[in-house]
Structure 1
Amino acid sequence: MDNTTLIGIPRTRITTPAELAAAGYLARYRGSTRETYRVSLKILWDWCAGLGVDPLEGMRRPVLELFARYLEDERHNSPATVAHHLSIIRGYYSFAEIDQYIDRSPAAHLRMPRVFIDESRTLGLDRMELGSLIQTARASSPSDSALITLMGMLGLRVSEACNVKIEHYQDIERGHRVLRLVGKGGKPATIPLPVPVLRALDAAAGDRTSGPLLLRNKGGGPVNRKSAALTVERLCKKAGINKRVTPHGLRHSFVTAALDAGVPLRDVQIAARHSDPRITARYDRARHNHDRHANHTVAAFLAGAA
């Protein structure tokens, strides 16, 4: 969101209840999250303008149902994208009700599309592929190595990895060097650094004692999301990995590797900083393995009593 507009409206002209409610709703969020929410609301605003409907006081549930069909049929959005936009819009109306701009949210009973997750696309790289990528990154440059290590061995999000500074991992806590960062939703995190990770970070820092850890190989400027994605693509190609791998795919790979290594689900959830264990469980490749089904354990446990 820029400094002059809100949902495409100049800030000096934010006067209607709908605009004020939107301003208060977006003020709850920061950075890229706020921009994402702003875009969803603007799509609704523009569509309502075409119908001559006030987005707040003139809104009813059937109109929102028509908007959902507009997203599907005219914008050709996928079910996941439609659900994303509608969840943001439901939040807007919920807070408009809380803030007493409206008596009841018109989105309370809005039909949400069913979204099916293709788990085969969320598992990321397997152990051998991730190991090959890490080796390729080490041979490429210290900065490339640190980037892949942060995402593939610590499970950092790409924005978190790009924002790491040298001074962020100098502290020692309970006998471990730790990385301190602020993650998604402004939540602080303290992450212990295994020796291979620490070596990669120290190599990227070199003689520097402060500033951004990750620098581009060309130009020397800080690595950003775009350059990180290009680096991952380049290194995967060099490593002979034919899958389409994104920076977030390396975070998926970290979670899957932890589960495959036998780390308890609760510990993996904490390491990945997932709010819900069900999110973590999606990456458990072996959970459909009949050899480890709970039935066997229960049968053995009851064998002496039955």
Structure 2
Amino acid sequence: MIKKLHESGGGSPTLGLGHLQFEALVTAARLSANPNDFALVALLGLLGLRIFEACGSNIADLGEAHGHRVLRVRGKGGKVVLVPLPTAVARAIERAVDERTAGPLLRNIHGGRMDRHAATRRLKHLAHIAGIRMPRMHPHMLRHAFVTTMLDAGVSLRDVQIAARHADPRTTMRYDRARKNLDRHPNYILAAYMASGT
């Protein structure tokens, strides 16, 4: 079940994870013996971080603000934002950090800072375990899943734009248009309506 997301700019298809594939990947990561796997998937797919933001995050970036557990993230252009940590994400990070008090949140299998290449290898491994057949698995697919899953859950376009930290609302709208093309086609609504009446 591969979703093709068409960016309106160049028209080239970007492969995204469907909802069930995303759930399967989260489950595989949660059950992995490597605690960095769930933290990686949580940071990318449940917080919507870009890969350089996730790999660049340190234990020192964890904190509290206004009664929320937060992660200080350095995004595009060096802009720093506080991202709240839902309980599942906080637990995933705690598991990866363990008893450490300094250093990177995500580590590779040698104990050093995880980079985008190591992250891609881990995601390919998890996708294989989850039974996800993708021609090319890469970290940005989880950011796609973050945005489209939020939209599917009924979060407003404006709130998704804020959560994804898209400077231009048209970027968020591209995700929305791509998912609406087939997933929300009126044919499905009509069929569901007719089925409920019979």
Q: Normalising TM by the smaller chain, what interval? A: 0.7 to 0.9
Runs ≥4 in structure 1, deviation > 4 angstroms? none
2:19 maps to amino acid: R
Cα shift readout 1:58-117 (whole Å, capped 9, x = no counterpart): xxxxxxxxxxxxxxxxxxxxxx9xxxxxxxxxxxxxxxxxxxxxxxxxxxxxxxxx9532
Give the alignment partner of residue 224 of structure 1, picking from 99, 102, 115.
Answer: 115
Larger radius of gyration: 1
Give the Cα–Cα distance (whole angstroms) in 2 for the partners of residues 242 and 156 of structure 1.
23
Give the percent of matched residue pairs that are identical in Structure 1 and Structure 2: 49
Question: Cα distance, 1:224 vs. partner?
Answer: 0.7
Among 164, 169, 186, which residue is 1:272 paired with?
164
Q: Amino acid of the residue matched to residue 117 of structure 1?
A: G
State the TM-score, normalized to the length of structure 1: 0.54
Task: Provide closer, same or farther for how the CA distance between residues 234 and 290 of structure 1 changes in structure 2, counting only shifts above 3 A.
Answer: closer
Q: Which has the higher strand share?
A: 2
TM-score, normalized by length of structure 2? 0.82
**Structure-2 change in CA distance of 1:276 and 1:207 (3 Å):** same
Letter in 2 for 1:189: V
- CA distance in 1: counterparts of 2:159 and 2:9, whole angstroms: 27
What number of residue pairs does the alignment pair up? 175
Superposed CA RMSD in Å reads 1.9
Aligned partners of 1:172 and 1:192: how far apart in 2?
9
Give the deviation of 1:163 after TM superposition.
0.8
Query: C-alpha distance in 1, partners of 2:160/2:21?
Result: 20
**Higher RCO by CA contacts (8 Å cutoff, separation 6 or greater):** 2
Structure 1: segments with no counterpart, 5+ residues:
1-79, 81-113, 292-306
The one-letter amino acid of 1:130's match is F
Q: Which of 98, 111, 133 is 1:242 aligned to?
A: 133
Secondary structure at the counterpart of residue 72 of structure 2: strand
1:245 positional shift: 2.1
Separation of aligned partners in 2, 1:142 and 1:276: 35
SS in 2 for 1:190: strand
Q: Which residue of 2 aligns with 1:211?
A: 103
Unpaired runs of 5+ residues, structure 2, are 1-6, 187-198
For residues 70-109 of structure 1, the aligned pairs below 5 Å read none
